[in-house]
């Protein structure tokens, strides 16, 4: 049984992305590939699209999980959209099962024109990372979006610089969130610290201490830190000590 949803059903999109069969027949520029999945980039009517295709869900019982990675990713995209957390436009998504086992699935997003991920900007030595106003603009967007997720009891679980896009206008977008999920109590608090620590891992090398502290204030939404805030901050900074 195959279930496929084309969000924007118009013109050549309906032909290229109209079914799982059509999507898996597409050829395009290879972006990434691993044992279970691949991402290609295709161009249609002057716009480029990223097509993520899963050929398998893994071995053993993973094939029978009710929410495979590809489904979790499109569900999380839809959560983000409802919460006004910026993400690329979701064009189509769906999967196929046979006798209850995952067979294949796909997710298609429209390219954010002129965007690059933050990790690559650092890798390329982009001058914008040394522009205080630009950094503050991105920092405020990131702080608000991250706080919004966490207020909904949701943790990204892979909130790294490579999963954050910024376009030429300085607008931020979240991408690649197949392992994000809802948590409560101590498990949520741990996942929140992990999310913030993942962000700070590169920030500790690229940004000043003042910029990193300002982001934490922006995330909390207040100017003064309580004793509990300071304890959480220490846990964030020390999170990866001895782990790598």
Is the CATH code 1.10.510.10 the one for domain 116-238?
yes
* Closest C-alpha among 174, 8, 5, 167 to residue 87: 174
Distance of alpha carbon 174 from alpha carbon 163, whole angstroms:
6
Strand order in the sheet with 164-166: 116-117, 164-166, 172-174
- What pLDDT score was predicted for residue 1? 62
pLDDT value, residue 56: 76
- Write 141-146 long-range contacts (CB < 8 A, 24+): 141/86, 141/171, 141/172, 142/172, 142/199, 142/215, 143/215, 143/218, 143/219, 144/218, 145/85, 145/86, 145/172, 145/174, 146/195, 146/196, 146/199, 146/219
Residue the block writes with tokens 């691993």: 34
pTM above 0.85, yes or no: yes
Fold observed for domain 2-110: Phosphorylase Kinase; domain 1 (3.30.200)
pLDDT of residue 50: 96
For the chain, 244 residues long, the average pLDDT of each consecutive 10-residue run is 78 86 94 91 93 82 83 95 96 92 94 96 96 98 98 97 97 95 97 97 96 98 94 95 70
Domain ranges within the chain, ordered by starting residue: 2-110, 116-238
2-110 and 116-238 agree in CATH topology: no
């Amino acid at each position: 049984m195959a279930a496929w949803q084309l969000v924007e059903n118009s013109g050549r999109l309906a032909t290229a992305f109209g079914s799982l069969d059509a999507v898996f027949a597409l050829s395009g520029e290879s972006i990434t590939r691993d044992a279970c999945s691949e991402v290609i980039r295709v161009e249609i009517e002057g716009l480029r699209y990223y097509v993520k295709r899963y050929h398998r869900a893994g071995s053993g019982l993973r094939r029978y999980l009710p929410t495979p990675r590809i489904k979790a990713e499109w569900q999380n995209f839809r959560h983000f959209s409802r919460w006004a957390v910026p993400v690329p436009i979701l064009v189509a998504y769906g999967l196929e099962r046979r006798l209850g086992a995952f067979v294949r699935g796909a997710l298609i997003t429209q390219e954010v024109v002129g965007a690059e991920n933050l990790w690559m900007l650092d890798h390329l030595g982009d001058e914008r990372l040394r522009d205080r106003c630009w950094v503050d603009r991105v920092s405020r967007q990131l702080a608000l979006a991250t706080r919004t997720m966490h207020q909904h009891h949701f943790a990204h679980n892979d909130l790294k610089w490579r999963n954050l896009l910024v376009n030429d206008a300085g607008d931020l977008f979240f991408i690649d969130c197949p392992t994000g999920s809802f948590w409560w109590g101590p498990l949520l608090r741990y996942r929140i610290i992990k999310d913030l620590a993942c962000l700070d891992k590169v920030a500790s090398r690229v940004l000043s201490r003042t910029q990193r502290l300002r982001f934490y204030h922006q995330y909390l939404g207040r100017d003064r830190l309580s004793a509990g805030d300071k304890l959480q901050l220490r846990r964030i900074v020390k999170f990866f000590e001895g782990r790598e």
